[in-house]
Amino acid sequence: MTRDQLFLDTLRDLREKHRSNQPYDLLRGSGLLRQLLLDGHSLVDQVNRAHRLKIEFNTIDFTLKPPVPIERIRLHWTNLDASATPRAMTIRVDRAKLLSAPVLVFKGREFTVHDLIQTAANVWGGVHSGSAKSDQQRELTEMQVTLPASQVVAVMKQALAELRIEVAVPDAVSALRGVIHVVVRGLEPLEQAMMEAES
C-alpha cells in the first residue's frame, strides 16, 4: 500500500467514525488523528510534499474567551465544529493553531486539541490503553473516570433547568467528534488533489 492510499483510506475511515458517533469509533478515531497530525513524520506532511497545499481548518472562533475566568470553570466543553452551530463566528487556522485550540476545561485548567488526541490515543485506548504519563493526561483521565457523560448531563440539566435551558453535555470522548469533523473537512482539499492526480 502506498502512502497516498494509506492517507486516503485513513481519511475515509475517520469520516466513517465521525458518522457512526459511537464512543468506541470516536475513541479509535483519536489514533487516526494522531497518525494524520501528530506523529513525528505525520501522514499529512508525507503526502502533502507532492502537492504543497496550505492546509487550513475551519473552526468556531475559539479565541473568544468565556465571560468567567478559566480558573473558576469546573467543567466546560467546546465543540470546534462550526457546522454544529451555523451562526457561530468562525476562523481558519493552520494545524499548529488547531492543535493548540482549547477544547475542554476541567477544574480551572484548559486542555487543547493536542492534549485530547494524545490522551485518547495513548491512554484511553485509541491506539494504546495505558497509564497517564503527564499532568494533562492524568487530569483528563480523572475527568473521564469521575464525570461520565450521563452524570455530567444530569448535573448540567439540573442546573440549567432553573433557567429553562436544555443542553446535552458530552464527555471528552464525544468531544473528539467535533475535532474529527474539523480535521476531515480541512483535509478534503488535499484528498481531492490526490484523487485528481491519480486520474
Reported confidence tier of residue 165, pLDDT bands at 50, 70, 90: very low
pLDDT digits (tens, 9 = 90+) for 29-80: 999 999 999 988 999 999 999 999 999 999 999 998 877 887 877 777 788 9
Q: Tell which residue, 191, 192, 181, has the closest CA to residue 57.
A: 181
Per-residue CA distances from 86 to 20, 60, 83, 89, 121 (Å): 21, 10, 5, 9, 29
Q: Domain limits of the chain?
A: 3-198
Query: Quick one: pLDDT at residue 64?
Result: 85
pLDDT digits (tens, 9 = 90+) for 99-139: 999 998 888 889 899 999 998 888 877 787 777 787 877 77
Please, are residues 175 and 147 in contact by the beta-carbon 8 Å criterion? no
